[in-house]
Chain A
Amino acid sequence: MAVLVVSFIFSMIFYLALTAGSGTAFYYWSSSELITGVFFSLIAAVLAKKLIGSSGIKPGWQFMNPIRWVKFLVFAFGPFLYNLTKANIDVAGRVITGRIDPGIVKVNTGLKNDFGLMLLANSVTLTPGTLSVDADSKRNLYVHCINLENKDRKCDNVCGSFIKWARRITE
């Protein structure tokens, strides 16, 4: 049930964003677009319910919590944006000079659900000198670092504060 409602709401928001400015009937959207949007969002929601139900994941209502959204926005515009900028200047410098010192290290995340792991892996891929390569069944992340010289070879400080943020957002 939760999957149905959540995916319906998100696909409806996506459809409304795509067709904004199409008419004047409902303040901004034309009524035929609204009806079509509800219809196709229902189809998408039923398909998503079938797909997620067959994969064995059981998501609850946790995505509808507005506090999580606020936390996510704070994370995205605060530490994430800062680290993204730093990473890109760093990598552009490495492209020019060609100085690399790569290696694959293991990171103990200790996260409790897969959504947090996905958030952590995506943000790790976009930030300084790290690229998530693989994950095992205990949710340990294997991270490829482009430059290991300044860091501890055990590398708990690879991800910086991202593990804390992922735990704060999703648990």
Chain B
Amino acid sequence: MINEVLYAIMGIGMFFQMMGTLALHRFPDVYTRVHGATKCTTFGSMFLYIGVMAYSALMYFSGDAVYLSMALHIFIVMILILLTNPTGAHAIARAAYRSGVMPVKAKVDMLKGAKL
């Protein structure tokens, strides 16, 4: 029973990772690609790590002491990904706009001519 729950959690994670990678090919310009790639891969990684953490906790309670610190380290990786990924996405979007890549099909563009 508990194995199926773990499989379901990790399956959701893999699904979102796949969506994040497909977004790179489905969307027309940089900004929308950053949307898809960053959000979906962050969320998918979170689900994947939660699944692996639950697996480690399970193995710890069945008597292997290594798995406790493994769960702690995976938690640190999760916090790091959650903090650094949106910052990197913001940096990429800003660099794209300042290097002159304009959004395709944009209805409104209030940044054009704005005083920074």
A interface, CB within 8 angstroms of B = 14, 17-18, 20-21, 84-85, 87-88, 91-92, 94-96, 98, 100-106, 121-123, 125-126, 129, 131-134, 136-137, 142, 144, 146, 148, 153
Number of A-B contacts (CB under 8 A): 122
Give, as a whole number of angstroms, the nearest-CB distance from B99 to chain A: 12
Q: Which residues of B61-116 have CB atoms within 8 Å of chain A's CB atoms? A: 65, 68-69, 72-73, 76, 83, 86-87, 89-90, 93-94, 97-98, 103-111, 114-116
**Number of contact residues on B: which range applies?**
35 or more
**Which residues from A are CB-within-8-Å of B34?**
131
User: Which of B1-9, B39-47, B51-59 is found at the contact surface with chain A?
Assistant: B39-47
**A92–B39 alpha-carbon span in the complex (Å):** 9
* Besides A85-B43, A133-B90, 18 new A-B residue pairs in contact (Cβ under 8 A), listed by A number: A18-B73, A84-B43, A91-B35, A92-B16, A92-B40, A94-B36, A103-B103, A106-B111, A122-B83, A123-B86, A125-B38, A125-B90, A126-B39, A131-B34, A133-B93, A134-B97, A134-B98, A136-B116
**Which residues from B are CB-within-8-Å of A14?**
76
**Which residues from B are CB-within-8-Å of A21?**
65, 68-69, 72
B103 & A104 in contact (Cβ 8 Å cutoff) = yes
**A122–B72 alpha-carbon span in the complex (Å):** 24
Q: Which of B43, B72, B104 has the most C-beta atoms of chain A within 10 angstroms of its own C-beta?
A: B43
Verify if B14 is at the interface (C-beta below 8 Å from A).
no
B31 & A133 in contact (Cβ 8 Å cutoff) = yes
**A121–B19 alpha-carbon span in the complex (Å):** 23
Q: Is the interface of B mostly helix, strand, loop or mixed?
A: helix
A102-B103, A125-B86 as given contacts; A148 in contact with B38, CB under 8 Å: no
B107 & A103 in contact (Cβ 8 Å cutoff) = yes
Q: Nearest residue in B to A145 (C-beta to C-beta)?
A: B108
Q: Nearest residue in B to A123 (C-beta to C-beta)?
A: B86
**A143–B99 alpha-carbon span in the complex (Å):** 17
**Which residues from B are CB-within-8-Å of A106?**
110-111, 114
**Which residues from A are CB-within-8-Å of B28?**
100
